[in-house]
Amino acid sequence: MAAKDNRSYYNEFANWYERERHHGYHRLIDDLQVDLLESVVGQRDVLEVGCGTGLLLERVEPLARSARGIDLSPGMLEQAKARGLDVVEGCATDLPFEDESFDVVYSFKVLAHVRDIEQALRECGRVTRPGGQLFLEFYNPYSLRYLARTLGGAKRISEETKESAVYTRWDEPGKIVEYLPGGVELEGWAGVRIFTPAAFFHRVPVVGSALRRLEFVGRDTPLGRFGGFLVARARKNS
């Protein structure tokens, strides 16, 4: 499968992106991520880097003082705009916002696909106010998700293209800490998808509900270090 630039890949993915996102495994991942933010976004200015079709931003917006999103895919943004969200087209490595514009900056399912990750994190830090919080999610090689992806291969994002067509990086925790820019300090980790061996288990009634409970319980414990999606909780120095 030939590689695609990120904009082309996500424009193509936009038509299929929400096909399974409203139930089961994919809904659980979104719920875990939004739950991470609910206690910190209240009456604060919030930015989502890589907002896609706006599924998460739509849930965060009512809680925040202001909520904005940025994405490089016009196809994704078309759906976010249809939700009435405040979104703009742009790149994670060159955010079109003034310094210290936001109290909370978060990015889920995006940073693993950014080649110049250190520049992207510098930009996230730049637009965060002193004392502000960052939630930065990476793909974790020490996880069941990595094992499942290795054994099961890439899934389709359209009739013609698989996930393997986009640049993807898997980062161990020590490497993630090295990526953080000066003035941004790690406060802790959260792990999303710790116990789920494969998405289809969430379609099994009893098993799915048990896994859901386990994922919420384990997310903020030391077991979170084994989450397929590893979230670095960080803060910009005052």
CATH code: domain of residue 78: 3.40.50.150
Q: Which domain holds residue 94?
A: 6-236
Give the ranges where 14-143 is alpha helix by DSSP (H). 24-38, 55-60, 74-82, 117-126
- What total number of domains does the chain contain? 1
d(C-alpha 32, C-alpha 191), whole Å: 9
Residue 23 covered by a domain: yes
Residue 144 covered by a domain: yes
Residue 189 covered by a domain: yes
Residue 34 covered by a domain: yes
Residue 183 covered by a domain: yes
The tens digit of pLDDT for each residue in 138-176 reads 999 999 999 999 998 888 888 888 888 899 999 999 999
Q: Select from 163, 199, 166 the least CA-distant residue to 26.
A: 199
Residue 1 covered by a domain: no
pTM above 0.85, yes or no: yes
Asked if the model's pLDDT at residue 2 lies above 80, the reply is no
Q: What angle do CA 86, 75, 78 make, to 5 degrees?
A: 35
Asked if the model's pLDDT at residue 115 lies above 70, the reply is yes
Q: What is the pLDDT of residue 4?
A: 64
The tens digit of pLDDT for each residue in 184-215 reads 999 999 999 999 999 999 999 899 999 999 99
Q: With cut-offs at 50, 70 and 90, classify the pLDDT of residue 3.
A: low
Q: With cut-offs at 50, 70 and 90, classify the pLDDT of residue 1.
A: very low
